[in-house]
Structure 1
């Protein structure tokens, strides 16, 4: 067996092998990861084809700011989830707490226009929260580390990423998922508020889901459950969940990556929550108090 790494006088490991040995090591590591994630032969073949599209040898380009921003997305997802859970339900439930919901529903604009206004407010708040948090993370990173490196090859910094992406594209992908998740969380907050007609249960459900999804991990041996659970915002909006999760979803003869599936799921759930909230709000007058 060829030894391709060693330690210098300071005890710091460094690479001493050839370029071919280095890429073989990466290939073996990816194969082990794919086996650990219980990928099918078809998924492995698809990922192998994606690997062939990646430019080699990997070319180093400085991208310190983008690496720093990528590391903050986990915090961003938690903060957006918390803000939507705390801020949206109290405002949305105000007419229920003040016992004015029946009066509002009897007015000319008390049904669809009133609900659309509430929905617009919830979505705008959640998206604005995500964007402002992203800006608060991105601006200091650009000031400290500079703006260069948008087109840097991501594999040089995230070795087990099998997608042909740059550092800047990786940031934009996670930002897009964050915005979609914010829309979904805003609609979910509104639906839960209308369902319970109170802000406290809605806040409890959202914060409880945030805590559970942040700390609970389903073992990879349970492939279906583990993969579904990985689409929770606290899991997906991160480098580990969005960029280096190799589990795929079949889609009309091809496969979709986790970040593609997650984006679609969030938008579909946002529509369902919005429609469900409107249905509950519209029928509330018939049920009375």
Structure 2
């Protein structure tokens, strides 16, 4: 019966078209993500794609290793030498691009130095001109002191417990950072939330008719009067919704990840996320950040799909059920911009698909005497809610009366 319910979903031409659209979105999103990584050759010409990623990886991995005071000082000296070259001092854009081409290997290191010596929410590109060799080795201490200065400035309102939490997380970060090419993971994480959103909406569309089809085709009396209609039949529908949601989510996330990392390279999975997101309070690697984002997206997709199926079971209307994921995942973010309860907005289900933003700029919450990030709370909470919804969905459809 489970196989029959799944086959019935994909027997509809509109659902097959939705799958085709999803493959098109996969291709477009993959190309846009791949094009985020750019390489400039010695002649000042820029390129993207497989070759660009390969050359950029070779350039950056020449500087791979721990960012100690010695390495930072060498990178700073290299940057000064390039900045004083005739290409860098030229007014010609092509000549300036030639100078930039020589910097690509140390670009990530210079980003770290710039972030360390800029104000908390600032990025002063020219600050490296003022940094001495003795100062550059203090980037990890400056990361903590810059945070403290910002917290004491009053620009943002935090409780003392929240301030202590952020400072403690900064202190717990393992240093020195290990540097190598991480651009493939950085590009992947920046775009994956958008792809997961589209994926969740399409999955919601696919499962929205599972519980309303019998009413649309006037076959409800046959279904509920069958021997196992109110038991195994309903269980098969619940199972079909779960398998379609899980199967499609895992398949398309895997395809997107595989395409991007195959082209751009998977180097740097174990590097700290702070190489790209300097202010993050999450002391995790790029791989751990990716898994956290994917997990949050999966829970959010399951939640939206389950609500769509509940709407389908309650209203017996497929169009109504289709709208539900859109409201949950698209309308809620819009409301979060105009609603006067920003704390409440942080717990909307759409935030499950925005874990990347929470890793970048963590939202904090106090539970009793413990401070933690919002993402670490909403993921398990919504996971439990999704589990609770499954038997509710079963019971709602089981109690349907035939008219």
Q: TM-score range by the shorter chain?
A: 0.7 to 0.9
Deviation digits for residues 82-130 of structure 1 (CA, Å, limit 9, x no counterpart): 1123111123311111222233223332123222211111122122222
- Give deviations 1:126-172, integer Å, cap 9, x for gaps: 22222222122211222222222111111111111112101111111
The structure with the largest alpha-carbon Rg is: 2
Deviation of 1:53 after TM superposition, in Å, equals 0.9
Contact 1:58 1:153 in 2 (8 A): yes
Partner of 2:350: 232
Pick one of 171, 180, 198 that aligns with 1:52.
171
Instruction: Quote how far apart the aligned CAs of 1:176 are.
Output: 1.2
The answer for the alignment partner of 1:3 in structure 2 is none
User: 1:249–1:255: 8 Å Cα contact kept in structure 2?
Assistant: yes
* CA drift at 1:201: 0.8
DSSP-derived class of the 2:367 partner: strand
1:242-275 deviation per Cα after TM superposition (whole angstroms, max 9, x unaligned): 5532313426x53442222121132122123323
Residues in 2 aligned to 1:142 and 1:23: alpha-carbon distance in whole angstroms: 33
Q: Distance in 1 between matches of 2:327 and 2:339?
A: 23
Q: How many pairs align?
A: 280
- Residue 246 (1) aligns with residue 359 (2): no
Change (3 A) 1:70 1:27: farther
Preserved contact between residue 152 and residue 167 of structure 1 (Cα < 8 Å): yes
Cα gap change, 1:26/1:237 in structure 2, threshold over 3 Å: closer, same or farther? same
The answer to whether residue 190 in structure 2 is matched with residue 71 in structure 1 is yes
Whose relative contact order is higher, 1 or 2, with alpha carbons under 8 Å and at least 6 apart? 1
Aligned twin of 2:219: 100
TM-score where L is the length of structure 1: 0.83
Q: Secondary structure at the match of 1:158?
A: coil
198-207 or 219-228, which deviates more? 219-228
| 2:295 matches 1:176 | yes
Does the Cα contact within 8 Å between 1:152 and 1:166 map onto a contact in 2?
yes
Distance 1:134 1:37, change over 3 A: farther
Structure-2 residue corresponding to 1:141: 260
1:178 CA displacement: 1.6
Unaligned stretches of 5+ residues in structure 2: 1-79, 84-88, 90-95, 101-124
Structure 2: distance between partners of 1:129 and 1:207: 18
Q: d(CA) in 1 for partners of 2:298 and 2:304?
A: 10
SS at match of 1:129: helix
Tell me whether 1:15 sits opposite 2:125 in the alignment.
no
| Matches of 1:202 and 1:96, distance apart in 2 | 13
Provide the rounded CA distance (Å) in 2 between the counterparts of 1:178 and 1:261: 14
Contact 2:188 2:257 in 1 (8 A): yes
**Is residue 109 of structure 1 aligned with residue 222 of structure 2?**
no
Q: Give me the CA root mean square deviation.
A: 3.1
Q: C-alpha offsets along residues 180-236 of structure 1, whole Å, 9 cap, x if unaligned?
A: 22222222121111011110111123223333134443479844223223x424x64
1:255/1:124 CA distance change after superposition, 3 Å: farther
CA distance in 2, matches of 1:172, 1:196: 36
8 Å contact kept, 1:92–1:118:
yes
Tell whether 2:377 aligns with 1:261.
Answer: yes
Match of 2:323 in 1: 204
Please give the secondary structure, in 2, of the residue aligned with 1:56. Answer: coil
The structure 1 residue matched to 2:310, chosen from 169, 186, 191, is 191
Q: Distance in 2 between matches of 1:188 and 1:280?
A: 12
* TM-score, reference length from structure 2: 0.61
